[in-house]
């Protein structure tokens, strides 16, 4: 055992400094999160929402009933059964294990994404330290409050990698399971189906159907049907619900309006985007995203890169124009920002644009930094949508400037 520990330490210190820093940061994050959970298991955490949903499910109580002191549960009955696996361990241990599970799935998904792109020659900078450091800071807010966003990103990346490697059944399960937890990723799945309709579409629909039917094995049919009805009603009631934590394009529009016509800005931050022009913009940008992906499909010879670029662009649309974008949701583009950083030399003139995007998202986008200044510098509150827009421009324009990748072994699966 001692020799094993000595070898581990020797291996750790043999790594480059940047890689040791990346590993240390991730370990420190989990330790700090564990300590916070032990001391205050319900503070700055959404795990109590999952915890209560798990309890309610097995008590056959409405999981969508509002409980004072915690937020609404918004996910599917299938997700509630999944969360109940952590519920059974108690609020503290359950939260610790959920955080561990979320971080591990996120790291595994990011690493498989990185390795797959690297195998196809997509990263000229092969040092993974910068990639994982950017991933950590971009996803930190959602991980720190035990959100499920990092977990979902990991599932999507695992599913996409399995799809590339023709492990189609497992790919469909990962993607369907992510959808069961957060239905707002539907545009991302639609783009994947657009570029790989077969065998993805039938297998994905089958996997979703199985996951929707699974709760009927765990509880009486009448209760499950009532919960699905309650879930639908809850989604209709809360689809326009907003709070100042949102960071989508509408939020940026409110900031712009405040610059032109100063007024009751704090009240406007809660406003629902009812502007008809904005709704048209959502549709047009969604259609434009699909057109870009179809254009890539005709131009990009590397199907692996096409898959991940399409996911990245879909996530950007969800963040800017989707129905549920808030600060922790920006974990969605964390691995793609890390990948872009490693790819930055493929388009030297685009480096400033990428750097601006990273600074806006990772620095100025921090809620604890921007919110205290919102009354004096409301423009800071548009940092996240502006940073995401800059990244979208880099992602689209860089395609025309990047070097041509050689086709390698995995392309034979296409």
DSSP 8-state class, residue 408: -
Task: Say yes or no to pLDDT of 329 above 70.
Answer: yes
Which of these, 209, 210, 189, lies nearest to 200 by C-alpha position? 189
Beta strands in 129-251 (DSSP E): none
Task: Say yes or no to pLDDT of 411 above 60.
Answer: no
Angle (nearest 5°) at CA 412 between 411 and 413: 85
DSSP class per residue in 57-75:
HHTT--TTS--TTSPPP-S
Model confidence at 2, pLDDT cuts 50, 70, 90, reads low
Boundaries of every domain in the chain: 15-413
**Percent of the chain with pLDDT strictly greater than 70:** 89
CA distance linking residue 56 with residue 317, whole number of Å: 34
Which of these, 242, 234, 113, lies nearest to 183 by C-alpha position? 234
**How many residues in total does the chain contain?**
414
Task: Say yes or no to pLDDT of 413 above 60.
Answer: no
CB 112 within 8 A of CB 295: no
Lowest-confidence segment of 90-99, 120-129, 161-170 by average pLDDT: 120-129
CB 355 within 8 A of CB 405: no
CB 199 within 8 A of CB 168: yes
Helix (H) or strand (E) holding 84: helix 77-87
Task: Look at residue 246 in the predicted model and tell me its pLDDT.
Answer: 67
CA distance linking residue 45 with residue 99, whole number of Å: 10
* pTM of the predicted protein model: 0.91
Average pLDDT for residues 260-280, to the nearest whole number?
75
What would the two tokens of residue 263 be?
Answer: 């007024």
Task: Say yes or no to pLDDT of 290 above 50.
Answer: yes
Of residues 292 and 383, more confidence is placed in 292
């Amino acid at each position: 055992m001692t020799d094993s520990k000595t070898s581990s330490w020797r291996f750790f210190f043999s790594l480059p400094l940047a890689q040791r820093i990346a590993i240390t940061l991730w370990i420190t994050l989990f330790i700090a999160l564990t300590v916070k959970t032990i001391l205050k298991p319900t503070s700055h955490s959404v795990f109590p929402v999952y915890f209560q949903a798990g309890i309610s499910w097995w008590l056959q109580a409405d999981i969508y009933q509002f409980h004072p002191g915690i937020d609404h549960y918004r996910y599917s009955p299938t997700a509630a059964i999944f969360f109940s696996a952590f519920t059974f361990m108690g609020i503290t241990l359950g939260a610790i294990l959920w955080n561990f599970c979320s971080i591990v799935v996120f790291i595994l998904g990011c690493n498989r994404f990185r390795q797959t792109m690297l195998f196809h020659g997509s990263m000229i900078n092969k040092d993974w330290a910068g990639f994982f450091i950017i991933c950590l800071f971009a996803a930190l807010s959602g991980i720190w409050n035990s959100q499920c966003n990092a977990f979902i990103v990991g599932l999507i990346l695992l599913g996409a990698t399995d799809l590339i490697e023709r492990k189609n059944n497992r790919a469909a399960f990962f993607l369907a399971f992510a959808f069961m937890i957060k239905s707002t990723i539907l545009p991302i799945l639609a783009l994947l189906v657009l570029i790989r309709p077969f065998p993805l579409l039938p297998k994905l629909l089958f996997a979703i159907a199985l996951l929707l039917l699974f709760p009927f094995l765990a509880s009486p049919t009448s209760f499950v049907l009532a919960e699905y009805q309650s879930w639908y009603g809850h989604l209709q009631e809360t689809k326009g619900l907003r709070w100042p934590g949102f960071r989508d394009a509408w939020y940026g529009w409110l900031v712009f309006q405040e610059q032109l016509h100063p007024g009751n800005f704090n009240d406007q931050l809660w406003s629902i985007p009812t502007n008809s022009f904005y709704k048209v913009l959502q549709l047009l940008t969604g259609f434009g995203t699909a057109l870009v992906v179809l254009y890539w499909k005709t131009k990009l010879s590397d199907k692996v890169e096409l898959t991940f670029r399409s996911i990245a662009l879909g996530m950007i649309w969800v963040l800017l124009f989707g129905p549920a974008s808030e600060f922790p949701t920006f974990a969605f583009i964390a691995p793609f920002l890390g990948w872009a950083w490693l790819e930055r030399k493929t388009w030297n003139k685009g480096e400033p644009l990428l750097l601006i995007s990273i600074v806006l998202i990772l620095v100025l986008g921090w809620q604890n930094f921007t919110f205290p200044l919102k009354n004096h510098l409301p423009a800071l509150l548009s940092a996240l949508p502006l940073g995401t827009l800059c990244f979208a421009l880099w992602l689209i324009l860089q395609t025309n400037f990047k070097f041509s990748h050689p086709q390698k072994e995995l392309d034979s699966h296409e």
